[in-house]
């Protein structure tokens, strides 16, 4: 985004002041917008849960600006985590590591672990530097809804209750960070995200498993709940070869498609990337789902993506959005 649109020095100062007072600030990141508060102020963290209507069993991601802050919060960093840090930080990777006791229990839902990431967005980085301490920040949406990829989407989520927003333009990646945890030093993906499984395996030079379902009473990541990232309208998925035998659509239906439009379709359709770029489609996915959710359409249909690279993450989000 042009630097003239970046928040002014005065806006950054105001944000730091609010955070020090235990208030919330909306921050842009390269994945999605976050609802940030001082990670070490439990009263401030309660405000995140209240505004999002988020259950306390769902722990937060703590955002840092340099690795020295990580060492203050975690007991140890397994060698494979070190490799991932070197390859992907700053960037869309969240690591779940054994927490030191000083990490507030509300931030980690009483778990013995804490989720940490170092974002890459220049506005988030600058704010973190100015604030000097970690910021807890879940996606800036009501619990279970679609993550916001623009400041306008955040305003629509929270209306008059929207905290100060640091403008950062449209999010470059558009899908949340990939969450990896380490059980006895063995890496496992808890939530697929902007970094693909292949990218992680290439760095670690070993196969990495993906946790499909939680066996715990409490899900390890809220993205593991069957319904999440959901629009308000019913959403039906179109299986991979749906064009061979398309359903009989109505004018009041809307379609979310990867690269090719459906000729003669009477309703609204959004093509995510005519060039067939998975990155471009990922960037537009949540924005487009929101747009169709706000449109006059009554029923939404989304086409399943090719099951490779970011297509796997996109399908994961579509499946969770459609679970109703
Ligand atoms: O890209 C992102 O990760 C964005 C931006 C704002 O950084 N944040 C985000 O936060 O997606 P949120 O709260 O929507 O998702 C955080 C996920 C939750 O599903 C939570 O359960 C999981 O991280 N998580 C946090 N701490 C955890 C822990 N100790 N163990 C397992 N999962 C954890
Ligand atoms: Mg979220």
- The per-residue pLDDT for range 52-84, each reduced to its tens digit, is 999 999 999 999 999 999 999 999 999 999 999
> For residue 217, what pLDDT is reported?
47
**From ligand 2's centre to the CA of 244, what distance in Å?**
35
**From ligand 2's centre to the CA of 251, what distance in Å?**
32
**From ligand 2's centre to the CA of 186, what distance in Å?**
25
pLDDT(224) > 90: no
Give 81-96 pLDDT, tens digit per residue.
999 999 999 999 999 9
Task: Give the ligand 1 atom nearest the CA of 117.
Answer: 7
Whether this prediction's pTM lies above 0.75 is answered by yes
In 3D space, the residue among 22, 187, 19, 221 whose CA is nearest the CA of residue 109 turns out to be: 221
Among 125, 138, 285, name the best residue to mutate to test ligand 1's pocket (greatest count of ligand atoms within 8 A of Cβ). Answer: 138
> For residue 2, what pLDDT is reported?
64
**CA–CA distance, 239 with 36 (Å, rounded to integer):** 37
> How would residue 260 be classed by pLDDT, with cut points 50, 70 and 90?
very high
pLDDT(114) > 60: yes
Give 265-310 pLDDT, tens digit per residue.
999 999 999 999 999 999 999 999 999 999 999 999 999 999 999 9
Q: What is the mean pLDDT of the chain?
A: 93
Give 147-192 pLDDT, tens digit per residue.
999 999 999 999 999 999 999 999 999 999 999 999 777 899 999 9
List all residues whose CB is within 6 A of at least one atom of ligand 1.
Answer: 29, 31-32, 34, 58-61, 92, 94, 96, 108, 111, 113-115, 117, 137-139, 176-177, 179, 181, 190, 220-223
> How would residue 226 be classed by pLDDT, with cut points 50, 70 and 90?
low
As a whole number, mean pLDDT of residues 36-45 equals: 98
| CA-to-CA separations, 291 to 118, 146, 296, in angstroms, rounded | 30, 11, 10
> For residue 19, what pLDDT is reported?
98
**From ligand 1's centre to the CA of 303, what distance in Å?**
26
pLDDT(214) > 60: no
Handedness of CA 292, 318, 306, 190 (dihedral sign): positive
**From ligand 2's centre to the CA of 177, what distance in Å?**
10
């Amino acid at each position: 985004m042009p630097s003239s649109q970046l928040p002014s020095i005065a806006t950054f100062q105001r944000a730091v002041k609010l955070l020090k007072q235990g208030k919330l600030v909306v921050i842009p990141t390269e994945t999605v917008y976050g609802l940030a508060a001082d990670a070490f102020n439990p009263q401030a963290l309660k405000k995140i849960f209240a505004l999002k209507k988020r259950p306390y069993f769902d722990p937060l991601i703590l955002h840092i600006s340099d690795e020295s802050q990580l060492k203050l919060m975690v007991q140890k960093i397994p060698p494979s985590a070190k490799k991932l840090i070197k390859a992907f930080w700053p960037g869309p990777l969240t690591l779940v590591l054994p927490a030191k006791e000083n990490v507030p229990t509300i931030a980690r839902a009483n778990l013995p672990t804490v989720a940490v990431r170092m974002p890459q967005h220049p506005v988030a980085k600058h704010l973190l530097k100015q604030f000097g301490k970690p910021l807890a920040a879940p996606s800036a949406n009501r619990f279970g809804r679609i993550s916001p990829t623009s400041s306008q989407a955040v305003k629509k989520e929270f209306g008059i209750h929207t905290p100060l927003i640091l403008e950062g333009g449209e999010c470059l990646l558009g899908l949340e960070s990939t969450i990896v945890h380490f059980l006895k030093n063995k890496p496992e993906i808890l939530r697929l995200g902007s970094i693909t499984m292949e990218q992680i395996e290439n760095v670690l030079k070993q196969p990495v498993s993906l946790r499909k379902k939680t066996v715990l009473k409490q899900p390890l990541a809220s993205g593991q709940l069957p319904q999440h990232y959901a629009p308000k309208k019913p959403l039906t998925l179109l299986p991979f070869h749906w064009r061979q035998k398309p359903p009989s659509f109505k004018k009041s239906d809307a379609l979310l498609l990867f690269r090719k439009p459906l000729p003669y379709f009477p309703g609204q359709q959004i093509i995510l990337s005519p060039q067939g770029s998975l990155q471009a489609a990922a960037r537009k996915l949540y924005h487009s789902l929101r747009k169709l959710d706000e449109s006059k359409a009554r029923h939404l249909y989304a086409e399943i993506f090719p099951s490779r690279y970011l297509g796997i993450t996109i399908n994961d989000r579509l499946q969770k959005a459609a679970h109703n």
